[in-house]
Amino acid sequence: MLTQVEICYICNIFSLYNYKMKYFTLIVIITIIAVSGVIFLSQKKPVTSLVSTPEESQQSSSPNIPVSSIVSQNLDTPWSIAFLPDKSFLVTERKGDVWLIDPNKNSSPSLIAKIENAKEIGEGGLLGIVLHPNFTTNSFVYLYYTYTQNGENTLNRVVRMVFKDKKLTDEKVIVDKIPGASNHNGGRIKFGPDGFLYIATGDAQNPSQAQNKNSLAGKILRVTDSGKPAAGNPFNNLVYSYGHRNVQGLSWDSNGNLWATEHGRSGALSGLDELNLIQIGKNYGWPDIEGDEKKSGMETARRNSGSTTWAPSGA
């Protein structure tokens, strides 16, 4: 049972009809993950600057209502955030740009990289970003993005870059040819407590591949910081768990358990978004089961949205 309260910046909003939302405001909200599911609470208040002052926060805060502050505006489909040691942060835009934003300074965001190979195709594009656990010594930043091969085949990859002099350079591919499509690309990447990199992938609109343990689609992958299979992986490849539709969030609780948020079906029958407790080598059922359904050898979601839609993002 997950009871951890996490503070995160939510920067990826999916509509029920998968259309692109341009130029929306990046806000800070408090995410509460409770027994009943994932509940997002936020309160907007008038602001005249990028960051509210301590006096403003004290006047408007209460024990029950979290306060949010605008730290940047006019971003184009921001998708993921990585916090730097000085509390500034990097933000990916799905079209391929990476921005440096410092909420402690009254300054405009700085464009630090344009990932030329990233292609914004439907839900795909430049997605996840994460710092290496030893970032302060090696300056490594990891990115997940969608690209096309020969202008036709849609794929995803994870690359490693170096952050130096407020620029990202020296791109190196560490995991390549993850199946992609206009939808269901996954894209969340995070380093776990074990020091390995976890990579969430989607089924690339080919549900049967989620059950194929030799495919990188519809999986949570676990790799070393150079992209090799992590020691102890259950199938002697990159795969950590399988049977996923489109994992969007990864997070570890205080006991070291890995949880994942996952998009359920969309369209007229939308719903059944899931919260799953991830265990090594386990099968999470897609496309054979979803929601509360059960089947031998498959894991049933700990919580699901039923006939409503959460469209959960990060966790």
Residues with catalytic roles: 184
Which sign, positive or negative, has the C-alpha torsion 118, 259, 4, 13?
Answer: positive
Pick the closest to residue 314 from 35, 25, 44, 30 (CA basis): 30
**Tokens 């350079």, residue located:** 169
Contact 284, 244 (CB under 8 A): yes
Whether residue 256 contacts residue 229, with contact meaning beta carbons closer than 8 Å, is answered with no
- C-alpha 215: how far from chain center: 20
The residue type of 90 is L
What 3-state DSSP class applies to 217? coil
Q: Whole-angstrom Cα distance, residue 53 to residue 72?
A: 15
Which two tokens mark 154? 């849609």
Is the peptide bond prior to 133 cis by the omega test (within 30 degrees of 0)?
no
User: Could you give the residue ranges of the DSSP H alpha helices within the chain?
Assistant: 54-60, 135-138
The candidate with the shortest Cα–Cα distance to 13, out of 254, 285, 248, 277, is: 248
Query: Quick one: which of 9, 12, 54 has its CA closest to 186?
Result: 12
Angle at the Cα of 92 (from 86 to 94), degrees rounded to 5? Answer: 175
Nearest-Å Rg of the Cα atoms of the chain is 19
